[in-house]
Amino acid sequence: MDVLLMFQIVNTFFAGVFGLVIGSFLNVCIYRIPEGRTIVKGHSMCMSCGHVLGAPDLVPLFSWLFLKGKCRYCGAPIASRYAKIEGLTGLVFAVLSWQRRDFYYLPGLPDQNPAGFLRLIILLFLACVVIVSMMIQKDHKTGMYRLSFYVLFLFAARVFLCIFDRADLVPVLRSASAALLISAVILALLIILSPFKRKPPRLFFSDIFTGKSIRDYFSAANRTIRTTDLLFAAVSTAIGVPAAIFCLFAYAVVRAAGNQEKLLPLMGIIIAGSALTGVIVFPGAVF
């Protein structure tokens, strides 16, 4: 076998294992960030008996499998979602890394591309923030502005990378601003047209002309949907067109569809799933 290919397979395997470990950390983030607790200190403990968990209990995914989903000390069942998030993160890391295997950095070889490797690292960070946002949205039925700013910060890091590869700057900015523009148009239409479902046509048009639909959108009662909309716009911009196409389309359809209250917990999953699909199907200028 070709040495380069073997190097890429081994690296992808390690990226997957690394993803499992990171997934275990993401579980802590998902649980603690909404409570405003620190994510760097404190021990993990059993939710039932309070026993502090040791290293053999904390091997991502495998501890859960070997303990058959039960606490070693009290036998209480452990929710499978922790293992699922670890597995999902590992899988996402492996898939994204395999697809961008030409970016792997091996010092000493000719034609190396450290900027491409850093671009892969930023993409993996982005995947982490999106997974955390997705689960917080599911648990609390609302997004958090802070997470959208992390997404935009990672996009800024990607733009910063263009210093190393000047030719990238224009395509990256073009791709991201197209996605930003389309998501802004989608959100503007949703905000203006949202009373349409609830109101008779006469009131609906008066809402548009008096600006009431816009004021309603920015009222305190709508904070939840605003945080979710911001996450959608931030993720779409960060991955740029054409990768954002699925995300733009899916979010517009779901957001325009029936019962928003019921759909809120699922919005994060829709954003995350469609964005990931886009990044895998259309690796574009940004990532």
* Residues at the site binding Zn ion, with contacts judged by CB under 5 A: 46, 48-49, 71, 73-74, 76
Shortest separation between residue 44's beta carbon and Zn ion, angstroms: 11
Cα separation, 17 vs 167, whole angstroms: 34
Cα separation, 58 vs 191, whole angstroms: 45
| Phi-psi group of 244: left, alpha or beta (phi > 0 → left; psi -120 to 50 → alpha; rest → beta) | alpha
Shortest separation between residue 77's beta carbon and Zn ion, angstroms: 10
The runs of H, that is alpha helices, within 100-113 are: none
Shortest separation between residue 30's beta carbon and Zn ion, angstroms: 20
**52 has which bridge partners?**
45
Shortest separation between residue 80's beta carbon and Zn ion, angstroms: 16
Instruction: Pick the closer one to Zn ion by CB: 59 or 169.
Output: 59
The DSSP symbol for 111 reads: S
Instruction: Pick the closer one to Zn ion by CB: 57 or 86.
Output: 57
- H-run or E-run covering 246: helix 245-256
Question: Around Cβ 260, how many Cβ atoms within 10 Å?
Answer: 16
Shortest separation between residue 81's beta carbon and Zn ion, angstroms: 17
Instruction: Pick the closer one to Zn ion by CB: 78 or 244.
Output: 78
Shortest separation between residue 65's beta carbon and Zn ion, angstroms: 17
Nearest to 179 by CA among 86, 254, 244: 244
Report whether 73 contacts 53 (CB < 8 A). Answer: no
Cα separation, 32 vs 241, whole angstroms: 33
Shortest separation between residue 124's beta carbon and Zn ion, angstroms: 33
Report whether 151 contacts 268 (CB < 8 A). Answer: no
Helix (H, G, I), strand (E, B), or coil: what is residue 52? strand
Report whether 101 contacts 116 (CB < 8 A). Answer: no
The CA-atom distances, in angstroms, between 222 and each of 78, 140, 261 are 35, 15, 11
Instruction: Pick the closer one to Zn ion by CB: 28 or 256.
Output: 28
Instruction: Pick the closer one to Zn ion by CB: 78 or 279.
Output: 78
Instruction: Pick the closer one to Zn ion by CB: 51 or 101.
Output: 51
Shortest separation between residue 78's beta carbon and Zn ion, angstroms: 8
Instruction: Pick the closer one to Zn ion by CB: 29 or 71.
Output: 71
Tokens for 19, please give them. Answer: 């993803």
Instruction: Pick the closer one to Zn ion by CB: 71 or 176.
Output: 71
